[in-house]
Amino acid sequence: PRQPAKTLWYDRPRYVYLEFCVEGSSDVKVVIEDERLVFSCRNADGVEFYNEINLYARVNSKDSREKRSDRSITCFMRKWKEKVAWPRITKENIKPAWLSVDFDNWRDWEGDEEVERAMVEQYAEV
Protein backbone atom coordinates (compact mmCIF):
# COMPACT_ATOMS: atom_id res chain seq x y z
CA PRO A 1 0.00 0.00 0.00
CA ARG A 2 1.29 3.45 -0.81
CA GLN A 3 0.95 6.54 1.31
CA PRO A 4 1.51 10.27 0.80
CA ALA A 5 4.89 11.69 1.75
CA LYS A 6 4.97 14.49 4.33
CA THR A 7 5.27 17.62 2.22
CA LEU A 8 6.36 21.17 3.00
CA TRP A 9 5.82 24.09 0.64
CA TYR A 10 6.64 27.78 0.39
CA ASP A 11 6.06 30.61 -2.02
CA ARG A 12 8.51 33.05 -3.61
CA PRO A 13 8.08 35.79 -6.23
CA ARG A 14 9.17 33.62 -9.17
CA TYR A 15 9.02 30.03 -7.89
CA VAL A 16 6.95 27.77 -5.69
CA TYR A 17 8.89 25.17 -3.69
CA LEU A 18 7.74 21.74 -2.51
CA GLU A 19 9.81 19.47 -0.29
CA PHE A 20 8.83 15.80 -0.05
CA CYS A 21 10.30 14.54 3.24
CA VAL A 22 11.45 10.99 2.49
CA GLU A 23 14.77 9.74 3.88
CA GLY A 24 16.83 7.33 1.80
CA SER A 25 14.60 7.68 -1.25
CA SER A 26 14.91 5.51 -4.34
CA ASP A 27 12.91 5.07 -7.56
CA VAL A 28 12.13 8.79 -7.42
CA LYS A 29 9.74 9.97 -10.11
CA VAL A 30 8.63 13.58 -10.39
CA VAL A 31 6.30 14.69 -13.15
CA ILE A 32 5.75 18.45 -13.28
CA GLU A 33 2.96 19.50 -15.60
CA ASP A 34 1.61 23.02 -16.10
CA GLU A 35 -1.17 22.53 -13.55
CA ARG A 36 -0.26 19.35 -11.68
CA LEU A 37 2.64 17.62 -9.94
CA VAL A 38 2.91 13.87 -9.41
CA PHE A 39 5.56 12.50 -7.04
CA SER A 40 6.44 8.91 -6.18
CA CYS A 41 9.33 7.07 -4.58
CA ARG A 42 10.28 4.40 -2.05
CA ASN A 43 12.09 4.92 1.22
CA ALA A 44 14.91 2.82 2.68
CA ASP A 45 12.33 0.40 4.17
CA GLY A 46 10.63 -0.13 0.81
CA VAL A 47 7.52 1.89 1.70
CA GLU A 48 5.99 3.42 -1.41
CA PHE A 49 5.05 7.11 -1.35
CA TYR A 50 2.75 8.86 -3.81
CA ASN A 51 1.51 12.45 -3.92
CA GLU A 52 -0.57 14.07 -6.61
CA ILE A 53 -1.17 17.80 -6.37
CA ASN A 54 -3.44 19.87 -8.59
CA LEU A 55 -1.61 23.18 -8.41
CA TYR A 56 -3.20 26.44 -7.31
CA ALA A 57 -2.07 28.19 -10.49
CA ARG A 58 -0.18 27.42 -13.66
CA VAL A 59 3.58 26.83 -13.67
CA ASN A 60 6.13 26.69 -16.46
CA SER A 61 6.86 22.95 -16.46
CA LYS A 62 9.87 23.42 -18.76
CA ASP A 63 11.56 25.74 -16.23
CA SER A 64 10.89 23.55 -13.19
CA ARG A 65 13.07 20.85 -11.67
CA GLU A 66 13.76 18.74 -8.64
CA LYS A 67 16.76 17.97 -6.46
CA ARG A 68 17.17 14.83 -4.37
CA SER A 69 19.10 14.72 -1.09
CA ASP A 70 19.47 12.02 1.57
CA ARG A 71 16.50 13.41 3.50
CA SER A 72 14.12 14.81 0.91
CA ILE A 73 13.27 15.67 -2.68
CA THR A 74 12.81 19.38 -3.33
CA CYS A 75 10.89 20.60 -6.37
CA PHE A 76 10.91 24.17 -7.53
CA MET A 77 8.41 25.24 -10.13
CA ARG A 78 8.56 28.49 -12.08
CA LYS A 79 5.33 30.43 -11.75
CA TRP A 80 3.55 31.35 -14.95
CA LYS A 81 2.62 34.71 -13.38
CA GLU A 82 5.59 35.99 -11.42
CA LYS A 83 5.17 38.16 -8.33
CA VAL A 84 1.65 36.85 -7.75
CA ALA A 85 1.37 35.29 -4.30
CA TRP A 86 -0.11 31.82 -3.93
CA PRO A 87 -2.32 31.59 -0.83
CA ARG A 88 -2.03 27.79 -1.01
CA ILE A 89 -0.33 25.15 -3.18
CA THR A 90 -3.45 23.17 -4.05
CA LYS A 91 -6.16 24.13 -6.50
CA GLU A 92 -8.79 22.86 -4.06
CA ASN A 93 -9.33 24.97 -0.97
CA ILE A 94 -8.61 22.03 1.35
CA LYS A 95 -5.43 21.22 3.23
CA PRO A 96 -4.44 17.55 3.17
CA ALA A 97 -3.05 16.24 6.48
CA TRP A 98 0.32 15.50 4.84
CA LEU A 99 0.81 19.08 3.57
CA SER A 100 2.28 21.94 5.63
CA VAL A 101 3.69 25.40 5.06
CA ASP A 102 7.48 25.50 5.45
CA PHE A 103 7.68 28.40 7.90
CA ASP A 104 11.48 28.10 8.08
CA ASN A 105 11.65 29.23 4.45
CA TRP A 106 8.56 31.44 4.29
CA ARG A 107 9.30 35.17 4.36
CA ASP A 108 8.18 38.51 3.03
CA TRP A 109 9.12 39.04 -0.57
CA GLU A 110 10.55 42.52 -0.32
CA GLY A 111 14.12 42.49 -1.60
CA ASP A 112 13.97 38.70 -1.90
CA GLU A 113 14.65 38.27 -5.62
CA GLU A 114 18.44 38.13 -5.25
CA VAL A 115 18.12 35.45 -2.57
CA GLU A 116 15.75 33.47 -4.76
CA ARG A 117 18.00 33.74 -7.82
CA ALA A 118 20.94 32.44 -5.75
CA MET A 119 18.85 29.50 -4.49
CA VAL A 120 17.77 28.52 -8.01
CA GLU A 121 21.35 28.76 -9.29
CA GLN A 122 22.51 26.59 -6.41
CA TYR A 123 19.92 23.90 -7.31
CA ALA A 124 20.73 24.17 -11.00
CA GLU A 125 24.40 23.36 -10.40
CA VAL A 126 23.64 19.83 -9.27
The CATH classification of domain 7-125, taken from the options 2.102.10.10, 2.60.40.790, 2.30.30.40, 3.40.309.10: 2.60.40.790
Query: Does residue 121 have a pLDDT over 80?
Result: no
Classify residue 43 as exposed, middle or buried by CB count within 10 Å of its CB (0-12, 13-18, 19+).
middle
Q: Quick one: which of 86, 81, 123 has its CA closest to 106?
A: 86
Report the percentage of the chain scoring pLDDT > 70.
Answer: 87
SS3 96: coil
Strands 99-101 vs 6-11: parallel, antiparallel or unpaired: parallel
Average pLDDT score, the chain = 91
Dihedral sign, CA of 126, 116, 25, 45?
positive
Q: Give the pLDDT of residue 106.
A: 82
Instruction: Please count the helices (runs of H) and the strands (runs of E) in the chain.
Output: 1, 9
- In the chain, how long is the greatest CA-to-CA distance? 45
How do residues 17-72 score in pLDDT, each as one tens digit? 999 999 999 999 999 999 999 999 999 999 999 999 999 999 999 999 999 999 99
Cα–Cα dist 106/110, whole Å: 12
Phi-psi category of residue 111: left, alpha or beta, with phi > 0 → left and psi -120 to 50 → alpha? left
